[in-house]
Amino acid sequence: MNEPTNQDILSAINTFAQHTEERFTGIENRLFGVENKLSGVENKLSGVEQRLSGVEQRLTTVETTMVTKDYLDEKLGDLRGDMVVLMRKEDRKLTALVEELVKYKVLPLESAQHVLDMEPFPHA
């Protein structure tokens, strides 16, 4: 059997080292590409984060200026109460007018009673 010489061993080790170096270089290049892609993704995420921050600020503004259901219910109740008061005043005016028309015999009593029995506040 032929024993390998030191030169053969060194040559084999050198060839192995070159192949290993080429593979490591390829891996480094691929990792560099991955780093570049991750940097791009990071930039995009930073942009998304800024946009979300803007949306969050706008949402906070909307929340602070938005009326709540309770507030709206209260205001609608107040408005309804005001409308009832105004309608009662008008009803009193109508009643007074009908009474004046009956008093001066412009409107028969039966017609006056019919008018006064109408909604929203019928007189019994």
Q: Encode pLDDT of 38-62 as tens digits.
A: 999 999 999 999 999 999 999 999 9
Q: What percent of the chain is predicted at pLDDT more than 90?
A: 91
On the question of pLDDT at 123 being above 80, the answer is: no
Q: How confident is the model at residue 79 (pLDDT cuts 50, 70, 90)?
A: very high
pLDDT of residue 120: 83
- Based on the fold, state whether residues 115 and 102 are members of the same structural domain: yes
Q: How far apart are CA 90 and CA 85, in angstroms?
A: 9
Q: What percent of the chain is predicted at pLDDT more than 70?
A: 98
- Based on the fold, state whether residues 28 and 86 are members of the same structural domain: no
Residue 86, domain extent:
68-124
- As a whole number, mean pLDDT of residues 94-101 equals 95
Asked which of 46, 66, 86 is the last residue of a domain, the reply is 66
Q: How far apart are CA 46 and CA 50, in angstroms?
A: 6
- Based on the fold, state whether residues 18 and 42 are members of the same structural domain: yes
On the question of pLDDT at 99 being above 90, the answer is: yes
CB 116 within 8 A of CB 123: yes
